Structures are given as C-alpha cells and as structure tokens.
Amino acid sequence: MNSKQLNILLAEDDQDDRDFFDKALKEIPIPTHLTTVNDGEQLMEYLYKNSELLPDVLFLDLNMPRKSGFESLVEIKEDDKLKDLPVVMFSTSYPRDINYEEDMINRLMKIGAQDFIRKSESLVQLKEFIYQVIQRVADKRIP
C-alpha cells in the first residue's frame, strides 16, 4: 500500500460526532490527515478554495444547518472541478422506516455518492465502516 497519507474531509455539524469520527480514524492502520468543516456552506467554501488540491475522500453528514449534505452533494456533482471527489454520505439511521432509508440511499447514489454510512454508537463498528471506505480509496491511488 502507498504510505502517503490520505487527506480526509469531514463535513459534520455535531462536535461529538466529529470527535467520535476522529477517534475512530486514529485507530485505523492507514495514515490519514483529517480536516473538518461544520456545515454545508463551510464545506462548499472550503472545496472551492481548494479545488486544485481536493481531499482523497469526503465524509458528508446528510443533516446539517445552512446547507444540507444532500444539497452539497448535488452542488459537488454538478461542478466540473469537484464532481470526481469521492463522497461518502454519513447519517443517522432511520430504522423505523426502512423504505424511506433505502429510497434516500438510492437517490444519493444516483446523484453520485460513493457510499452511505450509518452513524453508529459503536466505535468498533464506525472504525470498520471508515476503514473499509478508506481502504478502497487507498487501493485506487496505487499506480
């Protein structure tokens, strides 16, 4: 595997969720650098400022103030400079309505999301999800 660290961008409005994600990320055996933004507007501002040096993967919370993850995903995938950025949607699960969740995930994938991760109370489970995604991104970077 390439030893160069992966640049991870997390768009998440909840500080506890950001801390939990960071903790899980630090326990994964792949070198990473995490940058965080607090909402969709900050995210888009960051991406436009850094469009020449995009992160390797974006973990995007679906429900954020000012601009939702859904709106941000649409904007990213419609922009020629940003559309190839791998985006992993990151959200609280809706177990009471599996049809709603499946429909939402299908819509996100059609727009261009690469994956969907349910937020988990379990550090082990979150770590496993993040590891799988990051491993796929790292594998694609190997020449």
pLDDT tens-digit series, residues 84-106: 999 999 887 665 666 777 888 89
32 domain residue, yes or no: yes
95 domain residue, yes or no: no
29 domain residue, yes or no: yes
Domain range for residue 47? Answer: 6-90+107-140
Query: What CATH number is attached to the domain comprising 48?
Result: 3.40.50.2300
Q: Within a 10 A sphere around the Cβ of 106, how many other Cβ atoms?
A: 11
- Burial state string for 17-31 with b = 16 or more CB within 10 A and e = fewer than 16: bbebbeebbeebebe
49 domain residue, yes or no: yes
99 domain residue, yes or no: no
102 domain residue, yes or no: no
Distance CA 50, CA 56 (A): 12
Residue type, 122: S
Count how many domains the chain has.
1
* Residue pLDDT, tens place only, 30-65: 999 999 999 999 999 999 999 889 999 999 999 888
74 domain residue, yes or no: yes
pLDDT band at 1 (very low <50, low <70, confident <90, very high): very low
The better pLDDT of the pair 139, 57 is held by 57
Q: Which residue has the tokens 């888009």?
A: 44
1 domain residue, yes or no: no
